Chains A and B, each alone.
Chain A
Amino acid sequence: MTMPNEAAALLRSNRRRRRIRRWVAIGTIPLTLAALLFVGKLLSMYAFAHQSITAYVVDDFAGSEASARGQEFLNWFEPYKAPFNVGTALGGAEQLPEARTQLEEALDLSTGLEVCAVRINLALVVERMGDAARADGDGAGAAALYGEALTITVETPEECRSDEAQQQSPDPQRDMVDSLDGTADRLKQKQQEEQEQQPQPQPGEKEQPTDDKLKGLQDKLEQGTQERDQQQGDDPGGSGTEKPW
């Protein structure tokens, strides 16, 4: 009578083992799906970012934005990159206020050296908004925007001038320090030009140019402004443009 009992026990244990195996499989389905989703998300980040950049370099700004939007889904890892890439693409497409909104969101989401490239592109976009205001004859608005862009540039952390920051730059063919300094210099000049174009009586007459001189200087500055507008009109930041990540 012992042997049949052992066989029955064996059968029972096999059945139990099968049942456990089935439940383990069912129980791990969510984990498996989560793992697949995780891997898929990670790999898709590279794909969308690459597509966004390659579309940007061939001036396909709509394609660049569309690819960058793909990064927004489950935007858990390096979350600043999605709005940064969207904002940069929108900036390329001359949708400057929308670009600014996205880049400001990217700035809020970025940490450490991530802020460097975000600040550079944000300053360029705001500068271009100033250029647009100036072209529309809104000198005061332009000066205010140049001031905001200058603030964004000046408040860039000192760490952004380090070699480490340069290594992480999305535009390794350009020196980040040069980009920052160039933007700051340009913005100072533009603010100065706006002030010179709207001369107001100031104390300290000794330091003021004469009327004739001021008129000549104004003419020159207007001419220079027009020329610089032409130079910088079609390429945000001219030689200092950053690319999406």
Chain B
Amino acid sequence: MVSDHEKQRARYIAGTEGAPPVPPPGGYRGARREAFGPTPSPTVVAPAPAVEPKKPANALGWIALATSILFAVILLGTLIAGATDLLYGITMLALQLVVVAVIVAALFSARGRMLGAIALVVTMLFNVATVGGMSALQTSASGNYEGTKTAAQKHAEAYPAIKGTDPQQTLSQQSLEEVRAQADAMFADVRARLTEEFGYSWTPVGDEDLRPERNGYGGESMLVEYTSASWATNEPIQDYDRKLEVMAVISEVVVDHGLWDLYSFNDPTMSGIDPGMIAKLYGSDDPRTQTTWEYYTENFPDPLRFYATINDLSNDRDGGFLAAREAQNARTGEPLEGLQLTVIASGVLSEADREEFETRLQDYPGFE
């Protein structure tokens, strides 16, 4: 029986008493780190330990690497195609789990560990969550959320009218062109009367605006909201009685054009708006000290809505209204104060689109 002490001694080479033991095969663990300076050269040349030839990575490692790269390429391709829904879909999630499983298997394999680690890095960078997040950001920026609509939903999305509105009423009411013509005629008559009676001169403000109307089924209808270009007086209107006279004249003209009498949003004795809100909207709940007067009427069941607004800087107590008007003036070039006339009509159809509207409606029996 050989004692441990004898074993240790046996590791000494003859004739080299006092020399350190020969390093174990492969060398001491961490002996190459020279934390304490270079280790002294052995005085005796020891037989070099047999260096094992480096074994190539196994198939599992290569499969993990190839799979992760291929999946990353698929994800990036989907990102470029803008298919965020596909990225967050169950298919991609399942594929991602398969890729992770292969990588984990490779990491547990000694010969596949290196390639498995590389695959892991690739997957950490490009996976369903990271690429999905990038794609979601892209979709958010464009606002193009298609979702996974059914064929029926896609069909409804193209409905040319507006949900809840009888399309026949849309066809029977004033068209866009008729609204525009009536607005122009009304503006002309109001301007003529006010010029005749009070000597006002006029400035056109802004351009006509046609805003598409949504159909209530997630798409755009063929109808639009019409907002006329406005007309504004160049002269301020600051006297209380004069304001009433001006509104009375306008009311007469619009009644002649088939609209109802003007009514006031800003006057608490007539308005349905809470006095506190009136003060907030119009600068005060007393028409004599208000910065803004707003009168309104319409020609229901036709869609035309008429607004007459008087802005009065003489009632601006803190300069806030002036600042707001100056900002508005910078945007539209309109006079800072005075009377403004505007017409708005929602859900109107252009005569040029009427035939197409009727044709498309035939594909929507039962829709309303």
Name 12 interchain pairs, CB-CB below 8 A, sorted by A.
A10-B31, A14-B30, A47-B88, A57-B218, A158-B324, A172-B143, A191-B272, A204-B269, A223-B300, A230-B164, A231-B164, A239-B213
Known contacts A47-B136, A235-B216, A238-B214: A150-B162 contact under CB 8 Å: no
The secondary structure that dominates the B interface is: loop
The range of chain A's interface size is 35 or more
A229 nearest CB across to chain B (Å): 8
CB neighbours (8 Å) of A151 from chain B are: 277, 280
Contact (Cβ within 8 A) B145 A43: no
Contact (Cβ within 8 A) A207 B270: yes
Known contacts A154-B281, A207-B269, A224-B300: A238-B147 contact under CB 8 Å: no
Q: Which residues of B contact A (CB under 8 A)?
A: 19-21, 28-31, 33, 35-36, 39-40, 84-85, 88, 129-130, 132-133, 136-137, 139-140, 142-143, 145-150, 153, 162-165, 211-214, 216, 218, 225, 260-261, 263, 265, 267, 269-274, 277, 280-281, 294, 296, 298, 300-301, 305, 324, 344, 346-347
A155 vs B218: C-alpha distance when bound (angstroms): 29
Q: Which of A57, A154, A182, A192 contacts B265 (CB 8 A)?
A: A192
Known contacts A3-B19, A43-B129: A50-B271 contact under CB 8 Å: no
> Assuming A6-B40, A11-B28, A46-B133, what are 17 further A-B pairs, CB within 8 angstroms?
A3-B40, A13-B30, A57-B146, A59-B153, A150-B277, A158-B324, A175-B211, A191-B271, A191-B274, A202-B269, A203-B269, A231-B165, A232-B164, A238-B162, A239-B214, A239-B346, A243-B145
Contact (Cβ within 8 A) B277 A154: yes
A72 vs B308: C-alpha distance when bound (angstroms): 47
CB neighbours (8 Å) of A10 from chain B are: 28, 30-31, 36, 39
A233 vs B165: C-alpha distance when bound (angstroms): 10
- Proximity bits, A80-104, B CB within 8 Å = 1, else 0: 0000000000000000000000000
Contact (Cβ within 8 A) A241 B214: yes
CB neighbours (8 Å) of B136 from chain A are: 46-47, 49-50
The secondary structure that dominates the A interface is: helix
A70 nearest CB across to chain B (Å): 12
Known contacts A147-B277, A196-B272: A43-B133 contact under CB 8 Å: yes
B145 nearest CB across to chain A (Å): 5
Q: Which residues of A contact B (CB under 8 A)?
A: 3-4, 6-7, 9-11, 13-14, 17, 40, 42-44, 46-47, 49-51, 53-55, 57-59, 143, 147, 150-151, 154-155, 158, 170-173, 175, 178, 182, 185, 188-189, 191-196, 202-204, 207, 209, 213, 217, 220, 223-224, 227, 230-235, 238-239, 241, 243, 245
